[in-house]
Structure 1
């Protein structure tokens, strides 16, 4: 079985799209009554880690890394 390969991957573009999606999820959870809105933590492994950092970089909200 041959695995398809991408001849020109856009990793940065993909991270940007995923970061926007993640920030949408953060905004949703900020509005939930059971969530302390200023104490949301983003944690990821491999791509999730880089997407969390990209999301933190896109916002002016307080971020601790």
Structure 2
């Protein structure tokens, strides 16, 4: 079993990503979702490059399921 320890900022970021991905599932476009992630990052949540990539990957996967 792998144990991963996350700090509070990472947990908040993952929650934010989940909300955005859910919105894509409900009809938000891929480009709109990616822009939201970009704006959240610019305005104080400061994601790591890996977290931004994860967000974009989840958005793309959800958008392409349809």
So what's the TM-score if we normalise by structure 2? 0.49
Of structures 1 and 2, the one with the larger relative CO (CA 8 A, separation 6+) is: 2
Higher percent of residues as helix: 2
So what's the TM-score if we normalise by structure 1? 0.50
